[in-house]
Amino acid sequence: MTSQHAGPVLAIYQAGIDEGNATFETTAPDWPAFDEARLPEHRFVALEDDTVLGWVAASKVSDRCVYGGVVEHSVYVAPDARGRGVATSLLAALIDSTEAAGIWTIQSGIFPENTASLTLHRRLGFRTIGTRERIGRHHGTWRDVILLERRSPHIT
């Protein structure tokens, strides 16, 4: 993922935001803020011809060195590209890149209503750590978040 993908990436992000079960965010950031918050070596787009179908990106969870092998990620797919394996391919690419870099844990917080995302993550080896109940308000309503993580079996 590079700045040449900024427009479609942010549009896909906004589409996910607008659906209401992807994130607490209400508006996609501008490209400089998005770019700064995500690790350049662990972000990818899925392309069909020159069309961005989806994206995945990881962010540091902390600047503390003890958490150097832990990242948080997001994966989004354009509404018209869903059901085609795009998210699976993107998340698999992220797993490969993080393991190659020595990252031992990928985590994510997912709304319980986002059953497609929960299914995807569990299929790729993520396990539920717990539910953070009423962790934040989203459009005036308290929301729970299911915390999932994938521990690399290759990094001990």
In a domain, 89, yes or no: yes
* Full domain range(s) for residue 146: 3-151
Closest CA to 57 of 69, 72, 77, 36: 72
Tokens of 93: 């690419």
In a domain, 51, yes or no: yes
pLDDT per residue over 24-42, tens digit each?
Answer: 999 999 999 999 999 999 9
In a domain, 14, yes or no: yes
pLDDT at 156: 78
pLDDT per residue over 72-96, tens digit each?
Answer: 999 999 999 999 999 999 999 999 9
pLDDT per residue over 33-77, tens digit each?
Answer: 999 999 999 999 999 999 999 999 999 999 999 999 999 999 999
In a domain, 48, yes or no: yes
pLDDT at 139: 94
Closest CA to 120 of 85, 154, 152, 72: 85
- Angle, in degrees to the nearest 10, between helices 86-100 and 115-123: 50
Kindly report the CATH number assigned to the domain that includes residue 107. Answer: 3.40.630.30
Q: What is the pTM of this model?
A: 0.95
In a domain, 66, yes or no: yes
The count of structural domains within the chain is: 1
Contact indicator for 71, 107 with CB cutoff of 8 Å: yes
In a domain, 156, yes or no: no
